[in-house]
C-alpha cells in the first residue's frame, strides 16, 4: 500500500520524536528495526498515531520509577499497532493488507468492535471524569465552558437511568449522547479558530491519504471527517460521548 510519506522520512520523523522523549538521547532506526518501522509506514499508520503510541509506552515506562535506559522504538510497537487498530475502526477502514500486498482494504462505517464490550453506565462515568478534566484544562471561552458544564450535568442526570434502560429508552439515551457529542465537537472546533482547524483538516486528509485511492468518494469524505474530529478532540481534550 502506498503511503503519503516516504518510509525513510517516516523513520526519520519517528527517530526525532523518540529522541525528544528520551531527553535528547538519539537511537538510530537502522537494520531490522528500520524494516519494521517502514512496514508501519507502508501499512498507513499515521505519524500522529505512532507518536501517541510512543507517548503511551513512555508514560507506563516512566511510571515504574527511575529510568535505566532510553526507550527504543521497537518497544512501542504493540501500543502503536493497538492504537492504529482503534483508529482504523473509527474512520472506517477495518482491514489493512500487509506491506506490498495488493489486497484492498475493507471499508465499514459501523464496525467499532474492540474485542470487548463496554457498559453504558461505565461509559458515562468515564465521560464525566474526562469532561471535568477538559473543563479544568486550558482556558477556553465562557460559551465552551458552559456547554461542557451542561453536558456534565446531563450525563450525570441520565447515569442512573442507564443502569436499567432497555429497548427504546436505552436507544433514546444513546441518541442523546450522540447529539451532545456533535455539539461539543462543533464547539471545540470553533474554539480552535479557522487557522488551526484548517491545519487539522489538512492533517486528517494526510492520515487518510494512504487508503484514499481505494475508497469510494463518500467513504473517503466520511473517513476524513472522523479523523478530523479525532484531532479536534485530542487538541481540546474531549472524550467520545457516542456509544455503540
- The pLDDT confidence band at residue 50, using thresholds 50, 70 and 90, is very high
Per-residue pLDDT tens over the stretch 109-134: 333 333 445 788 889 998 999 898 88
- Among 15, 68, 77, smallest CA distance to 43 is for 77
Least confident of 55-59, 60-64, 79-83, 147-151: 60-64
The phi and psi torsions of 17 (rounded to 5 degrees) equal -65, -45
**231 and 187 in contact (C-beta within 8 Å)?**
no
Looking at residue 101, its pLDDT comes to: 43
Number of other residues whose CB lies within 10 A of the CB of residue 221: 13
Give mean pLDDT, residues 61-81. Answer: 85
Looking at residue 209, its pLDDT comes to: 83
Alpha helices in the chain (DSSP H): 7-21, 31-43, 47-63, 77-91, 120-135, 142-162, 167-212, 217-236
CA distances from 14 to 133, 167, 231, 233 (A): 29, 47, 19, 23
Does residue 73 or residue 135 have the better pLDDT?
A: 73
- The pLDDT confidence band at residue 2, using thresholds 50, 70 and 90, is very low
C-alpha grid cell for residue 238? 474531549
Looking at residue 239, its pLDDT comes to: 87
- The single-letter DSSP state of residue 110 is S
Q: How far apart are CA 230 and CA 238, in angstroms?
A: 9
Per-residue pLDDT tens over the stretch 177-196: 999 999 999 999 999 999 99
pLDDT over threshold 90, residue 163: no
Looking at residue 175, its pLDDT comes to: 93
Dihedral through CA 3, CA 4, CA 8, CA 12, nearest 10? -130
Residues above pLDDT 90, as percent of the chain: 42
Looking at residue 98, its pLDDT comes to: 46
Least confident of 1-5, 95-99, 115-119, 240-244: 95-99
Cα atoms in the 13 Å half-sphere on the side-chain side of 183: 15
- The pLDDT confidence band at residue 107, using thresholds 50, 70 and 90, is very low
Looking at residue 67, its pLDDT comes to: 63
C-alpha grid cell for residue 205? 486528509
93 DSSP β-pair partners: 107
* Average pLDDT, rounded, for the chain: 83
Does residue 92 or residue 223 have the better pLDDT?
A: 223
| Global pTM value | 0.67
The domain spans of the chain are 7-91, 120-236
Amino acid at each position: 500500500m502506498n503511503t503519503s510519506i516516504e518510509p525513510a522520512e517516516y523513520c526519520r520523523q519517528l527517530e526525532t520524536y523518540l529522541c525528544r522523549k528520551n531527553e535528547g538521547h538519539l537511537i538510530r532506526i537502522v537494520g531490522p528495526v528500520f524494516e519494521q518501522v517502514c512496514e508501519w509506514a507502508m501499512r498507513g499508520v499515521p505519524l500522529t498515531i505512532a507518536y501517541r503510541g510512543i507517548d503511551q509506552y513512555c508514560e507506563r515506562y516512566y511510571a515504574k520509577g527511575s529510568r535505566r535506559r532510553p526507550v527504543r522504538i521497537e518497544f512501542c510497537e504493540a501500543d502503536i499497532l493497538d492504537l492504529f487498530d482503534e483508529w482504523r475502526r473509527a474512520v472506517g477502514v477495518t482491514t489493512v493488507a500487509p506491506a506490498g500486498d495488493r489486497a484492498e482494504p475493507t471499508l465499514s462505517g459501523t464496525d467499532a468492535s474492540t474485542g470487548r464490550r463496554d457498559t453504558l453506565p461505565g461509559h458515562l462515568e468515564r465521560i464525566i471524569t474526562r469532561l471535568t478534566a477538559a473543563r479544568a484544562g486550558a482556558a477556553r471561552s465562557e460559551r465552551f465552558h458552559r456547554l461542557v458544564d451542561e453536558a456534565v450535568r446531563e450525563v450525570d442526570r441520565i447515569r442512573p437511568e442507564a443502569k436499567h434502560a432497555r429497548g427504546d429508552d436505552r436507544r433514546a439515551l444513546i441518541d442523546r449522547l450522540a447529539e451532545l457529542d456533535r455539539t461539543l465537537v462543533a464547539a471545540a472546533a470553533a474554539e480552535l479558530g479557522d487557522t488551526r482547524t484548517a491545519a487539522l483538516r489538512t492533517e486528517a486528509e494526510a492520515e487518510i491519504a494512504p487508503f484514499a485511492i481505494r475508497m469510494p468518494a463518500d467513504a473517503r469524505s466520511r473517513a476524513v471527517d472522523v479523523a478530523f474530529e479525532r484531532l479536534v478532540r485530542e487538541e481540546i481534550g474531549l472524550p467520545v460521548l457516542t456509544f455503540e
